[in-house]
Amino acid sequence: MTRCVAFAGRHFHQPAFSTSPPHTFTTRLSMSTAATEESQQEQREESRPPQPNDREETLVSPWAQATTREGRNNKSRFRQHVNPLARRFQMETELPMEWPQGTFDDPSLPLHLDIGCGKGGFLLELATTRRQEQADVQMNYLGLEIRPNVARHAKGRVARYNLTGSLDFIGCNANVDLRRLLSLYQENGGGSIDFVSIQFPDPHFKASHVKRRVVTPELVVALADFLAEGKEVFIQSDVQELFDDMREKFREYGAELFEDTVEDFGKFLPENPIGVPTEREISVLDQDLPVYRTIFRRTGKAVEE
């Protein structure tokens, strides 16, 4: 028995039931077991008190140790989740000397910052589209991603899209390193942060894992510190509970610092204001499922010391 599958306008017939050789199941089981063990190890690290030799063990950041799996066409093995509270993710990331000088052709241009950029498809598409259709929009683009191998994969795509000098990806934990990164960016000649996007972040569904979510009070205040009046933060998710949680954080801890452009908490932006969807967004909309969105605009209120 076969079923018809459409791909790129063509139709293919494939068995309705898996015909994978036995070793395929064993391989997948081994990968699943390894991922479970790594997750359990991260949970132990989260609750484990610091030890005398911790400094020596974590001397090299996980982003410096990342392997280039994209070179082996092994993208399917990227982990979907990591524990941002694990010890190894509490480090500062490594940056080139004088960054962003030498990374961006013109660091003084305004910056679009995408927190939790994944494999970088959104920024790659956005930068390419603007270059082709909006030549008058001159910006730099920076994506931050906590998963080391995913960040490395995204960075490897920049040259293939001919975007070297205007787009960069950095592996880091935004909840640990965002303020330092933005400080270095502006101290070393970087331009204003004009727009921030936080799209479909990991929902961390378990009640005990909610503290792992990317939007925290500290992140809200850090963004307020570096965004000038009128600059915007765009958030969206297909998980309403997560979206509401992010929105509440900005409304509570960014009170007077940010204005929600959709005043009614029960309402959302009907369309993506950027005009370029993420891969996740496309998948969700293709299933006729809702996406929850809003934009927060920076007010003129200064952050209190």
In angstroms, rounded to a whole number, what is the distance separating the alpha carbons of residues 236 and 269? 9
Question: Which of the residues 202, 260, 264, 286 is marked catalytic?
Answer: 202
DSSP codes, the chain: -EEEEEETTEEEEEESS----HHHHHHHHHHHHHHHHHHHHHHHHHHSPP-TTHHHHTSS-TTTS---GGGGT-GGG--S---TTSGGGSSPPP--TTTTBTTBS-TTS-EEEEES-TTSHHHHHHHHHHHHH-TT---EEEEEESSHHHHHHHHHHTGGGT-TTTEEEEE--HHHHHHHHHHHHHHTT---EEEEEEES-----SGGGGGG-S--HHHHHHHHHHPPTT-EEEEEES-HHHHHHHHHHHHHHTBTTEEESS-STT---SS-SSS---HHHHHHHHTT---EEEEEEE-SPPPP-
Q: Is 286 among the catalytic positions? A: no
What residues are annotated to the active site?
A: 202
